[in-house]
Amino acid sequence: MRLLVTGAAGFIGSNFVHYWLAHHRGDHVVALDALTYAGNLANLAVVRERITFAHHDIDDLPAVQKLLREHQIDVIVNFAAESHNSLAVLRPRVFFQTNVLGTQNLLEAARNVGIARFHHVSTCEVYGDLALDDASAFTEESPYRPRTPYNASKAAADHVVRAYHETFGLPITITNCANNYGPYQFPEKVIPLFATRALTGQTLPVYSSSANRREWLHVDDHCSAIERVLLAGTIGQTYHVGSGVEVSVAELATRILGQLGLPLSRIETVPDRPGHDRRYLLDSSKLRSELGWRPAIDFDAGLAGTISWYAEHRDWWRPLLERAPVDEKAWATSVD
Ligand code: NAD
């Protein structure tokens, strides 16, 4: 297979490139990234000799078409996005520019050149939130009810991807995934944020709505799910990727402090973010029953391994602390 992976220098994109090359040794990967503040070539260092890196914006039609032709790409996997909910509250426009128009540009390039598959990576957040005591979960048929600019931009992108399938027959698949955790996640997101602050003697900022919870999936399990969909998924279909493991933000803070042997007095309660979703939970039975996918990484072991990774890779994350695009207070109170 010859893949173009967009957003490949980000958290999930880089883990996906590592995963793919470990499991498909003969395949060719072109890693495209605009290298925004969230993109980091160091994330690709361990595979640098085995890939072609292309420094482009997904919104650059001639550049994307040239890559598709020159590398005879079969499959595009689109991870590129502005991904930080808290930043979207402060600077919404770039989220729509990249996540909606950038995705539309990639689709247009794929339509013009011709490819075997356009796989789009989306989120559980397009469905809005669930009440904390609601027993239901979002299915692939649930109505879209995004509540934040980030969620709205991802929801719009999903619609554009489906429209290119319905209107132009482009061979697409979509996965909507729960919150990911693992190595190489930018320290603006909650688990690396808590880990790096704990490791540097700072407080862990927990929103006043600390009972809000998320469904957590290890990034390697997300990669194996995308692999299943690329190899066995049905064109035009959407698949949910979730672990079923829900953990509150307060509990995360407690566990991280516990692992590092630090006192609970390090937790600091801060005001809530506007539009902060209470809870998401995905019903991923379609992916499990139709394609036989299962998450393989236990949450307790995965979280412990991730915290250890941050403790052992200070040289990776220290320079990133200077690259946060918004003021310290807004950034520090980020949850997803
Ligand atoms: P990330 O912010 O770590 O990485 C995004 C990457 O996209 C960065 O390397 C950035 O430089 C690049 N990028 C941004 N704008 C670009 C542009 N215009 N052109 C080319 N590259 C650009 O994000 P992530 O957490 O790795 O998320 C990857 C994808 O997965 C996103 O689409 C996100 O919506 C989705 N997703 C993430 C999660 C999660 O928990 N992190 C959950 C579900 C879905």
Instruction: For residues 245 and 252, give the distance between their C-alpha atoms in angstroms, rounded to a whole number.
Output: 12
Answer yes or no: is the C-beta of 225 below 6 A from any ligand 1 atom. Answer: no
- List all residues 6 or more positions away from 35 whose beta carbon is below 8 Å from its beta carbon: 9, 41, 55
Our answer on whether the CB atom of 9 is closer than 6 Å to any ligand 1 atom is: yes
Using CA positions, which residue lies closest to atom 5 of ligand 1?
A: 10
What confidence tens digit (pLDDT) does each residue in 211-268 have? 788 999 999 999 999 999 999 999 999 999 999 999 999 999 999 999 999 999 999 9
pLDDT band at 326 (very low <50, low <70, confident <90, very high): low
Longest Cα–Cα distance of the chain, Å, equals 57
Confidence (pLDDT) at 135: 81
Sign of CA dihedral 101, 107, 112, 113: positive
| Helices 249-259 and 190-199: angle between axes, nearest 10 degrees | 40
Ligand 1 pocket check: which of 79, 106, 326 to mutate, most ligand atoms within 8 Å of Cβ? 79
- For 22, residues 6+ apart whose C-beta sits below 8 A from its C-beta are none
- Kindly give the interhelix angle for 299-312 and 249-259, rounded to the nearest 10 degrees: 60
Structural contact between residues 146 and 152, judged by C-beta atoms closer than 8 angstroms? yes
Tell me what ipTM this predicted complex has. 0.99
Q: Domains (ranges, CATH) in the chain?
A: 2-180+217-241 (3.40.50.720), 187-214+247-275+300-332 (3.90.25.10)
Structure tokens that stand for 177 in this block: 């995934």
CA R_g for the chain: 19
d(CA 36, CA 28): 24
Tell me, what's the pLDDT at 246? 95
**Percent residues over pLDDT 90 in the chain:** 87
Q: What is the pLDDT of residue 29?
A: 98
Once rounded to an integer, what is the mean pLDDT over residues 40-64?
98
Q: Which tens digit of pLDDT belongs to each residue from 193-208?
A: 999 999 999 999 998 8
pLDDT at 328: 44
Q: How far apart are CA 51 and CA 16, in angstroms?
A: 13
pLDDT digits (tens, 9 = 90+) for 135-154: 899 999 999 999 999 999 99
pLDDT band at 310 (very low <50, low <70, confident <90, very high): very high
pLDDT at 3 over 60: yes
82: which residues sit within 8 A by CB, 6+ positions away?
Answer: 36, 38, 88, 94, 95, 98, 99, 150, 153
